[in-house]
Structures are given as C-alpha cells and as structure tokens.
Amino acid sequence: MFTMHKTNGIISMDIAGSIRIFDLKQKKDIVHYQSINGKGTCLAYPNEHYRNCNRVFTTGYDNGIIRTFTIKDDNSLALV
C-alpha cells in the first residue's frame, strides 16, 4: 500500500491482483481494477522526486508479468 501525498489517495493491491485507489478525502474508491493475469505479489511506486510520482505505479504477479500503469486525469488506469 502506498500513500499518494499530492492527491490524498492510497494505492493497494490484494493477493488476487485487484488494484484499488482510495480517496481519503472522499472516503471512497476512485479506481478499482481487477487483474485476470495471476495473483498479485508486489506493488512499486516511485518516490516523490520523480516528476510523475502521483500518476505512475508498477505491479507484479506470480506468473512473472509486470505491468506499469498511469492514472489518467479522469482517474481511470492505462497501461504504459
């Protein structure tokens, strides 16, 4: 789980590979993405010195797949 300081959100991924971005101010999910590629094993988020630190993150799965996502302006996810 990672806190998105500039957008008041938290990114998390569960063992089933489901990705959620929760908005702490609105107290609701703003993104929910269900992966069909395997079990989630890791979530990486760049530090705040990276210029797009609040918009990009990478996930890893038990089958070796690694995916990098960007959070679009409408709060949807896109593969990079």
In tens, the pLDDT along 10-48 reads: 888 998 889 998 888 888 888 888 877 789 999 988 766
pTM: 0.78
Architecture of domain 2-79: Beta Barrel (2.40)
Contact criterion met (CB below 8 Å) for 12 and 19: yes
Domain layout of the chain by residue ranges: 2-79
